[in-house]
Structure 1
C-alpha cells in the first residue's frame, strides 16, 4: 500500500539534505533553529532550488508569526509550539515507518449507519450528533509502540456507490475492510452483503486465492434496541459464520474496542493500537520520538521505551488516484499479468 510519510523538520535539516546532494552551501541565509522553530511538512515530488525558494517564502511568513508570539503570554507561546505548521513544503522521503507497518483500512456501508462516528472514536474524538453526508474522508493515525512506528490510513468511501471504478480502486488499495450496517435497517445489511461479494471479486484480481480476506463487520446503533430489526444470527447466515461480527454503538461506545482490536489482529498490528491502550500526543511530539529512534541504536534505545502513544496527522490527504492505480497495477503483476485494468 502507499506508505508516503509527512515529516515536520527544521529548515536547517532540509538545507543540509539539499547540500548533500548538490555539494554547495546556500549563501545569504541566516537562521537560528533555537530562535525560529521553522518546521515544515514535506513530500518527495520536488527538490533542488524549488525547495529553497519555497523555504524562503515560508521563512518570511513564519518570521512574522514569531514576532506575534513574542508579544503574547507564555501560555500562548507554549500552545503555539505544539501547533503543526500550516504551510506544506516538499522534501525527500525519509521513511520513518516501515512498509510492513503501514495499513489502509477502507470503511464501507450504506449512508447514515454511523461510519464517520466510528472513525471519530478511533481517532480519539467525541461522538457527533449532527449528521452530514460524507463524500469522502481520509484520516491518518500514527502510532509509536514498543520502539516501532506504525501508520494506519482510514478511508471513509461513503459516496463512491455511484462511481464503480472509483469504489473498486478504493477496494483494491485497501488492506483491511470495515463494513458497517445499522441494526435498525435491514437494507443496510443487504448492502454490506453486496459489498462483501464485491471485495472478494476485486481482490481476486490482485491477490493469490489463498490470501485471507481481511473483513470486519459492524452492526451499529445497538443503543436503539427498540428499533432493532436485524439479529446476530441472521448476520452469520448471510455473511458467513467465519466473518468477525460485532454489535456496536458509536454513541455510547458499546463494542467499539472489540472492533478496533479485531482490525489490529487482522492487520498484524499491536493490541496497543486500540484507543484505550495508548495516549494521544501532538504530531510534533510523535515525530520527535520517531526521529530520536532513528538516531540511536536499536538495543540501547529499546531499554527506555515509553508508553504507547499515537497522533493524528492533521495534514493527511488521500494519495492521488494515479499513484493508487500504479500501486494496484504493480501488485497485480506480482501474481499474474492482468488482461485488463483491474479497476474496470
Structure 2
C-alpha cells in the first residue's frame, strides 16, 4: 500500500496536515513556508498615513494635541510604551483614533503586525523540517534535545502510547511495582534523564504525535481575520471602522515572497549545501526536491526511505541573499546538490 507522509516542524511544533503518498502530497505549502519573508516590504508611515487618514502627514507634524485630552499631556515615550504594552488590536484601535497617535505608535503597530502576520506565524525558514512517514519509528540520531524528548515522552504516556515494560520513571511503589508518571515535567532533571534511558524512541508513535501538532492552516485563517477585530470587542464601536479597514487593506497587499521563482535557492544551513530552484534544463527542482530530501519514512516494503536532509535546518532565500551568506562565511565550503530526473 505504501506509506503516507506529512511535513513536520519540531521547532515551531506545527504540521501541514496534508497527508498523502510521496507523489501525492502537495508541496506548494511547504515551499511557501520555507521562503524567508521580506520584512522590508511592510509599508512606511507616510504611505499608510495618507491611505488611512486621507491627507499627507505634516512635515513638522504640528497636529493639535488638545484633541487627545489628558493623553496629549504625556511625553511621547510614555505613549509609545502604551502601544508596546497593548495587543495588536488595541494598538491599532489607539492609533487610528488620532493622526498624532498613529504617527507615534506606528512602529509598534507594525512590529506587532509582523509578529501576528500569517506569513510570519507559519514561516518555517531555518527550522528543522521532516517529511514524516507513518512507518517511521525512530528520529534521526541526536535529533531531539533532552527537553524535546521529555515532551514527546510525556505526550506518549498521557496518550497511552508507551509500550516499554520498563519503569519510565525508574521508581517503584511499596509493592515493588513500576510507577509510570502522568506528568513527566514534575521529575527532577536527574530523574528525567534516568526515565529517558528506559524509554525507547519507537514507543513515541511519531505519526500520531506529528498529527497532534497544530495545523498551519487554522493559524493562517486566525491571523488574516484580525483586521478589523470581531464585533464582540467591546471597544470597537468607539473607533473609526473605516480607518481600520483601510489599514487592513494596506497590510493585505504586502507580498513578503516577492522574489522570482528562478532566483530562489534552497539552503541547508546544517550541512552547508544548497539547491537552485531551477536547473540548467529549466526544470523546477523544489517540488520534487523538498519532499525527497526531507523524507523520513523508516522501512517500507523492505526499502529504507530516508532523505539526506531529513531534520536539517532549511530555508528558501533569494540568490543575492545566498551569495551574501557565502561571503559572510568565506571559510565555509558550500556544496551544490542536483536532482537526477532519470532516477526512478
Alignment TM-score, normalising by the size of structure 1: 0.25
**Rg bigger for which structure?**
2
Alignment TM-score, normalising by the size of structure 2: 0.25
Say which structure, 1 or 2, has more relative contact order (CA 8 Å, 6+ apart): 2
